[in-house]
Amino acid sequence: MSDPVTAGAPDSGLDLKRFFHDLATPLSGASLHLERASRLAARGEDPEEALATARRELHRAFDLFERGRAELLKP
């Protein structure tokens, strides 16, 4: 089954897959902890720690994104 993003770019296909995989990990963390923060807030509990983790994961994702982008744009 061809990946719609990598289709048509056979040379960079493998790198893109890795790029997506690397990004998917912190994005999962961010998504789970944002949801957790929302549940905690709904219960009247402190969501700060969950929000801090979500922010850290988002930073990690941006960092990985920039590094991946630089890697992909290399001549």
Q: List interacting residues with other proteins (CB under 8 A).
A: 1, 17, 20-33, 35-36, 39, 50, 53, 56-57
The CB-of-47 to other proteins minimum distance in angstroms stands at 12
Q: What are the CB-based long-range contacts (under 8 Å, 24+) for 7-15?
A: 12/72, 15/71, 15/72
Output 15 or 56, the one with its CB closest to other proteins: 56
CA dist., res. 54 & res. 13, Å (int):
29
User: Measured from the CB of residue 73, what is the shortest distance to other proteins in angstroms?
Assistant: 22
Q: How far is the CB of 61 from other proteins (least distance, A)?
A: 9
- Beta-carbon contacts of 17 under 8 Å, excluding residues fewer than 6 positions away, are 3, 6
